[in-house]
Amino acid sequence: MSRKSWSSSLQQGPIHLSDDRPMDTPKRKIPPVPKASLEEGILQLLASAAEMQQRQDLDSALQLYQAAMEKVKEHGLNRQKLLTGFKKKPPPLNKRTPIEWCLLVGDIASAVCLLGSPNAALGELRTIITTERLEQVLEAGADIEYRIGPNGRTLLLAEAADGRHPGVRAALDHGANVSCMDDNGDTALALALADGQLQASPIVADLLEAGADLDTRNGQGQSLFKVALYAEPEVAAFVITTLAPLTAEHHEIMRTWAISLPVHEKKWSDRCSFGVLSLLLDHGLDPNLQFQNPRYQSKGASTLLEIAIERQADQLVVALLEHGAIPHIEKALLNGTLSTIDLILTRITPLKESQYQQMATWIKTLHARPNKWPERDREVLKLLLDFGLDPNLRRSAPPHSPLIMCAASCGDNALLQKLTERKAKLDVKDDEGNTPLICAAQNNHREVYDQLKATGLNDSYFLFGTVWGTYAGH
């Protein structure tokens, strides 16, 4: 055959290979890879990536993590199970999870890859990473207004609620909306004040500097100024200083806050009883503010000073007195400690006649039998004598015993000595004709009896007897 005839017989254009299979023969199907094998292969990828991280080859690690996550997505596998759920894992995953390896070496890019997105990484990692790592998550593309968790809180809101100042600062630096609210209607400022701990102070300061409004309400409708009063004194002080001069509305909030304090047992904390109240006194709170105290229902309203006395808050007592609080002596004698009573009497000296009358009224409340008087009441009596109580005062109820006879009955040598030093009359009798010597003898107080006798009192009884021989033991 000639070359011409041979070449002319060649097929022109693309060559098509014939398929000798019959038309009805099905194509061969590739069997699917078992799920367990897929998971094992992905775990090997994850383990290899962690090994790259140990070698500080972060680029290679990221590529391996990306390949693993693409397989997870392609085959619809459980991402969380692959990252944390298997008991048997190839090394180095048997020591740490992939996320833990990422955080250990500071590989935030790989952590974002594993968690699916910068936003997911923000929600998952914000509480366990440093501020520097948090900045890296934000720079990776996380939305600063992304809602984290069930309360619909952004990064700023969540960090403010948790009292983490560095996180708040980072959020503000990345343009977080300071007026943003969570699902409860609370702003970052409201959440920081509700936290109320000492670390809230710089958070509140930064939020206010960024434009947060203190003259608003929280999600429950409470004034943020009122919320601040329940915070630590340092936080409350910062808020009050920022708002100064305070308005009439602020003063009304201060008043209602003070009268709403629980005043019984231990519910009135030291923080409230001194720190915040002292601060409010400095900013115009009425020191003679009255409110209902269940303990004194029969005597009308009580004052902050009376509650401070009852709570033995001496620092607050001083602050109240310095700001013009008027003490009720009888209530102070009923409930105050000896040191608190001494403090009050020292502050208000010289005493008025009405205040001495209140002392006498308190003495009426003492047990009818002086030998039943507790040591505390006897010590208070000694203190009152130092502040000018009449040493010849008689009890108002029959038999109208003078104090010297009460001292003899209870066997208190120190009280007896104090009364004699204050020139109490010794040769006195009550309505029943009893004398101090008789009272001492009736109660078997020999030492007091001898002390009275040493002052010159005659202990003879009729012709040959003595008061002690007649009354002692009877």
What integer pLDDT is reported at residue 474 of this predicted model? 58
Boundary of a domain, candidates 116, 140, 161? 116
Whole-number Å distance between alpha carbons of 167 and 131: 6
Span 277-293, average pLDDT: 85
What integer pLDDT is reported at residue 59 of this predicted model? 97
- How many domains is the chain built from? 2
- Hey, is 114 helix, strand or coil? helix
CA-wise closest residue to 154 among 129, 133, 179, 117: 179
Span 342-366, average pLDDT: 94
Q: What CATH number should be reported for the domain holding residue 379?
A: 1.25.40.20
What integer pLDDT is reported at residue 30 of this predicted model? 67
In a domain, 172, yes or no: no
Whole-number Å distance between alpha carbons of 465 and 474: 15
Whole-number Å distance between alpha carbons of 179 and 118: 23
With a cut of 60, say whether residue 291 has pLDDT above it.
yes
Treating both helix axes as pointing N-terminal to C-terminal, what angle do 375-386 and 413-421 enclose, rounded to 10 degrees?
10
In a domain, 212, yes or no: no
Whole-number Å distance between alpha carbons of 293 and 308: 12
Dihedral over alpha carbons 298, 300, 302, 307 (to 10 degrees): 10
What integer pLDDT is reported at residue 49 of this predicted model? 96
Length reported for the chain: 474
Whole-number Å distance between alpha carbons of 181 and 145: 11
What integer pLDDT is reported at residue 309 of this predicted model? 87
- Over residues 60-111, the pLDDT tens digits come to 999 999 999 999 999 999 999 999 888 888 999 999 999 999 999 999 999 9
Whole-number Å distance between alpha carbons of 235 and 228: 7
Q: What is the mean pLDDT of the chain?
A: 88
Span 130-142, average pLDDT: 95
Domain that holds residue 78: 36-116
Which amino acid type is present at position 333? Answer: L
Token pair, residue 305, equals 């000073």
With a cut of 90, say whether residue 19 has pLDDT above it.
no
User: Given pLDDT bands bounded at 50, 70 and 90, which one contains residue 2?
Assistant: very low
What integer pLDDT is reported at residue 231 of this predicted model? 86
Residue 372 DSSP symbol: G
Boundary of a domain, candidates 69, 88, 116? 116
Contacts (Cβ under 8 Å, ≥6 apart) of 402: 392, 393, 394, 395, 424, 425, 428, 430
What integer pLDDT is reported at residue 408 of this predicted model? 95
Any bridge partners for residue 309, and if so which? Answer: none
- Hey, is 93 helix, strand or coil? coil
Q: Which residue has the higher pLDDT, 20 or 215?
A: 215
In a domain, 221, yes or no: no
With a cut of 50, say whether residue 10 has pLDDT above it.
no
Whole-number Å distance between alpha carbons of 76 and 61: 22
CA-wise closest residue to 113 among 162, 157, 58, 76: 58
- Over residues 317-348, the pLDDT tens digits come to 999 999 999 999 999 999 899 999 999 999 99
Give start and end residues of each alpha helix (H) in 76-199: 79-80, 98-105, 108-115, 118-125, 131-139, 155-162, 165-173, 188-195
In a domain, 405, yes or no: yes
In a domain, 123, yes or no: no
Boundary of a domain, candidates 89, 116, 143? 116
With a cut of 50, say whether residue 199 has pLDDT above it.
yes
Range of lowest pLDDT (26-30, 168-172, 322-326): 26-30
Which amino acid type is present at position 327? Answer: P
For 424-433, the CB contacts below 8 A with 24+ separation are 424/391, 424/392, 425/392, 426/452, 426/455, 426/456, 426/457, 427/457, 428/392, 428/402, 428/404, 430/394, 430/399, 430/400, 430/401, 430/402, 430/405, 431/398, 431/399, 431/400, 432/399
- Over residues 245-266, the pLDDT tens digits come to 999 999 999 998 888 776 654 5
With a cut of 50, say whether residue 3 has pLDDT above it.
no
* φ and ψ at residue 152, rounded to 5 degrees: 65, 45
Give the count of alpha carbons within 13 A of 247, CB side only: 5
In a domain, 253, yes or no: no
Give start and end residues of each alpha helix (H) in 274-402: 277-282, 304-310, 314-322, 329-335, 338-348, 353-364, 375-386
Using DSSP bridges, classify how beta strands 465-466 and 302-303 pair: parallel, antiparallel or unpaired.
Answer: unpaired
Which amino acid type is present at position 306? Answer: E
With a cut of 90, say whether residue 6 has pLDDT above it.
no
Hunting for tokens 């003679």 — which residue is that?
288
In a domain, 385, yes or no: yes
Whole-number Å distance between alpha carbons of 191 and 175: 19
What percent of the chain clears pLDDT 90, i.e. is strictly above it? 70
Give the count of alpha carbons within 13 A of 342, CB side only: 8
Token pair, residue 36, equals 């367990």
In a domain, 56, yes or no: yes
Q: Which residue has the higher pLDDT, 238 or 12?
A: 238
* φ and ψ at residue 196, rounded to 5 degrees: 70, -5
